[in-house]
Structure 1
Amino acid sequence: MDICGMCNRESVLQNSHAIPDSVFKKILRSNSGKAIVVPSGGRDPIHYSSDSWDTNLLCSDCESLLNSLYEGYSLRVLRGSVGGVRRHDLGVTFSGIDPCRLASFFISVFWRAANSKHSSYGKVYIPEPWNGEIRDYLLKNTPIPINLVTVQISRLIDRTPKNGFTLRSLKSVVMSPFFRKHKYGKYSFCFVFEGFFVEIFTPGLTYSLRRRAGVILKDKRVLMVPYLDIFDVPEIVDALVKGYGKYLDGDITFKD
């Protein structure tokens, strides 16, 4: 028997996903069961893959707990089937949401990625005691203090006049998470999925910085998610440039 990464009990571990399996399945269904992977660095070639970045991490009870408490609800919010959604010139406004539940979903993705052994999550890390504290908050379904972890989200768009990425195509982009180092010892970890750019700060943002658009606040049931041009994210641009360079070099394979 192995040890569950969340409840620490001996159990048969499940194939656990950080970025939800349903996100990958949605992409794979539209691409004949495979997705195109463009590595952001190193010597890995461009390739097709059906890998959904899962590893053995949680027992069935903890896996079901996170999925039922956070994942299902939050994906319905992001996909517009729960609460109100209004698109406007500045971004997308979600109303009537449960902000604590939505924030905990993104933090659960962050926590699972940090504790996953899959190479795609190799740059995600949570030091102790924060790793254990976040685990306990998630396990007990308790709101996670915003000064411990702050979540900020943006809706990706491409403002290129012609032949740019459509909103539909941006929803099919999944990148390996990466980190940013900020002043005063703070780090953020960035995820891209479902057409959103998610930045998670630990320790959390200061009070003044929490006023930014897209920051999820526990007492605000209305969330304005600003647009973010994909070409304004240096890490995404770098991945696209390197991927295109590999394409020109003929460094492309088609494998599982």
Structure 2
Amino acid sequence: MQVCSMCKQEAELQSSHAIPDAFFRKILKKQSGKYIVVPGGGNSPIHYSSDSWDTHQLCSPCEIHLNKNYETYAIKLLRGSACKVVKHIHGVTFSGVESHILVGFFISIFWRAANSEHPNYSKVIIPEPWNTEFRELLLAKNNIPLRLATIRLSRLIDRTKNDGFTLDSLKNIVMTPFFRKGVSHKYSFCFVFEGFFIEIFIPGLSLAKRKLPGVLNNKIKIIFVPFLDIFDVPEIVEVLVEGYSKFVDGDVTFKN
């Protein structure tokens, strides 16, 4: 019998997703069951895939716990059906938000990814004792202290005047998470899905930096999410350039 990563009990493990399967299902539905993978780096070709990056990780009660207490609400919120959403020139404002649930949702993705055996999450690492602390906080439904981790949320756009990415097409991009090394032994781990750029800082940002646009906390009811041009994210640009180069060079295979 295997051991659940969250409750540490022996159990039959479920097919668990770090980035929710709902986001993959939406893309796969639009793309007739397959999406295009543009690998960043190496010699891997562009190819089709239906892989939703799942592994056997959690028991059924823990899977239900995370889905019920974090995922269900957060997905509705990000898709605009759980709160009031106003779009304006500088970004998007979400009103009536249960922000502590949204913070817990992103941390649950971060924690699952760091403890997943799927190769697409290989760059996500949470050292101890933080890994155990996240696990215990999520299991107990306690708020995530901002000193432990801080989340900055941005809405991706493409300001290219002609032939750029639409907002709908940006929602179809899911990137392999990557990390950035900051100052004072701080790291951030970055995720891209559902048209958002999510950066998780560990340890958390200073009090002054927590006031920056897009930074979440556990108490606010109104969240301003600034726009971020996709071409202002170097890691995304690198993947797009490499993908274009592979396509031009003929390093393309569309096998199932």
TM-score using structure 2 length: 0.99
- Cα distance in 2 between the residues matched to 1:68 and 1:141: 11
- Cα distance in 1 between the residues matched to 2:102 and 2:169: 24
SS across alignment from 1:68: helix
Q: CA deviation at 1:95?
A: 0.5
Name the aligned partner's letter for residue 129 of structure 2: P
1:18-33 → structure 2 map (5 Å cutoff) = 18-33=18-33
Deviations 1:171-217 (A, max 9, x none): 00000000000000000000000000000000000100001111111
Q: Is 1:3 aligned with 2:3?
A: yes
The residue aligned with 2:252 is 252
SS across alignment from 2:97: coil
1:40-79 → structure 2 map (5 Å cutoff) = 40-79=40-79
The residue aligned with 1:90 is 90
1:78-157 → structure 2 map (5 Å cutoff) = 78-157=78-157
SS across alignment from 1:14: strand
SS across alignment from 1:183: coil
- Cα distance in 1 between the residues matched to 2:255 and 2:3: 33
Deviations 1:142-192 (A, max 9, x none): 001000011110000000000000000000000000000000000000000
RMSD: 0.5
- Cα distance in 2 between the residues matched to 1:95 and 1:217: 14
SS across alignment from 2:68: helix
What is the total number of aligned residue pairs between the two structures?
256
Q: CA deviation at 1:255?
A: 2.6
Deviations 1:71-115 (A, max 9, x none): 010010000001110000110000101010000000100000000
SS across alignment from 1:86: strand
The residue aligned with 2:17 is 17
- Cα distance in 2 between the residues matched to 1:251 and 1:54: 27
Q: CA deviation at 1:42?
A: 1.1
- Cα distance in 2 between the residues matched to 1:255 and 1:7: 39
TM-score using structure 1 length: 0.99
Name the aligned partner's letter for residue 97 of structure 1: V
Q: Give aligned-pair identity as a percent.
A: 60
- Cα distance in 1 between the residues matched to 2:243 and 2:191: 18
- Cα distance in 1 between the residues matched to 2:89 and 2:211: 20
Unpaired runs of at least 5, structure 2 = none
The residue aligned with 2:241 is 241
Name the aligned partner's letter for residue 203 of structure 2: P
SS across alignment from 1:58: strand
